[in-house]
Chains A and B, each alone.
Chain A
Amino acid sequence: MDTNIPLTVLYDKRCVLCRRVRDWLEEQPKYVEMKFIEAASKDAYYKFPEVDHNRTLTELTVISDNGLVYKGEKAWVICLWALEEYREWAVTLSSPELFPLAQRMIMWVSSNRFKISKFLGK
């Protein structure tokens, strides 16, 4: 697999936490280009006609320009993998020992993201 194909992150614009994470990701030095599109927006529907866009509102979805789709925890791992300073982390987190734990944590953050956003203010 050619490892430098740009990634598109479909993020939930209603969620403050997601917006903050998106801003943070944008600022990080990256090995792989990352583009950000609001989940279930017109652009998203146009660019990815076959994707279930309702699901992208509840589950983080990252799609590479050659069509590979990563959802949920895998999407998180791929985002970290794209970053220069966190690629090693991404590999460590996906090890068989740590991935189940990472999965649970990501699921928890994802299901509670609106509560967390309220907690963060704004």
Chain B
Amino acid sequence: MNIISTNIEHVQEIITLRRDFMDKTLLAYLIYLGISIVLTVWVAKTLHKNGRIFLVDVFHGNEPLADSVNHLLVVGFYLINFGYVSLALQLGYRIETDYAQVVEVLSYKVGWVLLVLGGMHFFNLLVFSRIRRQAVIPDLPPPVQPDACTIVRG
């Protein structure tokens, strides 16, 4: 009797192990990285494409300059965001329970990545907007109309 129950337990253990095709923590990490990298690249490409149009206008059609500034901004964007994704990866414990917990962990971590990406995105827009303002100021016409016209001698 004992041998049979031990065997049954042993088989159950093997079945459980087989269902666990990958360590849950590792799975969570890989999915997290996959989603975060895709999201970061997508937002960066959006910024790059639309930022260029904006910068070319700000720099009065000077395309090499616009491309240069745009590239610099995007590099900074990638550095900060990948930096955050990397730092925020660590869970601090192993996922031992179930796959629902994997989803919970992912939703939490990806949520923060999205918030940071969103924050950086708006920050970039702010930077673009400041650049534009500074470039446009010397071209602003007088904001008031003259009261009269007169002769000027000398």
Interface residues of A (CB under 8 A from B): 1, 3, 31, 46-51, 63-71, 74, 77-78, 81, 87-88, 90-91, 93-94
In the complex, chain A residues whose CB is within 8 Å of the CB of B79:
none
Decide if B143 is an interface residue (CB 8 Å cutoff).
yes
Segment of B16-24, B101-109, B115-123, B132-140 engaged in the interface with chain A = B132-140
Contact partners of A51 in chain B: CB under 8 A? 150
Q: How many A-B residue pairs have CB under 8 A?
A: 64
Interface residues of B (CB under 8 A from A): 133, 137-138, 140-154
* Cα distance, A110 to B154, chains bound together (Å): 29
Which residue on chain A has the smallest CB distance to residue B145? A74
Q: Give the residues in chain B near A68, CB-CB below 8 Å.
A: 146, 149
Q: Is A1 in contact with B144, judged by CB distance below 8 angstroms? A: no
- Bound complex: CA A48 to CA B154 (Å): 9
A78 and B142 contact, Cβ closer than 8 Å, known pairs A46-B154, A47-B154, A63-B152: yes
